[in-house]
Structure 1
Amino acid sequence: MTAHITHDTLVEDVARVVEGVPGVAFLKPGLADRLRSAWGGPGSGPGAGRPPAAGVRLTPGPDGWRVDVQVVTSRRDRSLDVARAVRAAVQAHLATLSPDRPAAQVTVTVTGLV
């Protein structure tokens, strides 16, 4: 991975990749997003003013990246197929950013259906 990409930027980047996978409704919102939407003030709501990366955890390790993704999927799509597509998309994206590292270990958890 190149030195100019920060961890936060990479998490945001992975979040965008995940949200682009067909069948993904959205990433699991974090506590701050839930409190902000409950407050209802100006600029509130999930993802207001910052990327929706609460559902992505990215940890570097000696054997490659470890990525935990939590998504809510559409009821129209099979959750298993969506989870597999998310895993493949994240692995492919990280492989293009750092081809010299081992393949990312991606865990996808479907936390709900809409």
Structure 2
Amino acid sequence: MTRNTVPGTLSEDIARAVAGLPDVAFLKPDLAGRLRSALSRAEPAAAASSAGVRLTGPADGTGSWHVEIQLVARGRARTVDVARAARRAAEEHLAAALPEQTAKARVTVTVTGLV
């Protein structure tokens, strides 16, 4: 991991990259995000939440990174194409942020719904 890369920031950056894809409706929010949005009357932030992205790094620094992405796709697109695009976007972002560990990274994308 590079000196300037923090897992939380990396997760947020990946979330922004995936949420910006044309056929991604939104990232699946976690329970805290759902409760926060239910209790809040304010508009949600424009920035992408990292709730739909879970990033786990190697505990000892020698293992592999694992990125799990859960998203809801638009119904007009083929689900497999959306999942592939999301995976590609995450892999490209990881390659830029962690060039020395890209070969060790594993990205899993789950499309949890269609709208």
TM above 0.5, yes or no, is: yes
- Aligned partner of 1:105 in structure 2 is 106
Pairing of 1:1-114 with structure 2 (within 5 A):
1-41=1-41, 43=42, 47-48=44-45, 51-61=48-58, 62-103=62-103, 104-114=105-115
What stretches of structure 1 of length at least 5 have no aligned partner? none
Indicate the percent of aligned positions where both proteins have the same amino acid: 53
**Contact in 2 for aligned 1:73/1:113 (Cα 8 Å):** yes
Compute the displacement of 1:57 (Å). 0.5
CA distance in 2, matches of 1:16, 1:40: 22
Compute the displacement of 1:48 (Å). 4.0
Cα pair distance change 1:102/1:27, threshold 3 Å: same
Higher helix share: 2
Deviations 1:50-105 (A, max 9, x none): 75111100011234310000000000000111001111111111011121114320
Which TM-score applies when normalising by structure 2?
0.85
RMSD of the TM alignment (CA)? 1.9
Output the amino acid matched with 2:15.
A
Which TM-score applies when normalising by structure 1?
0.86
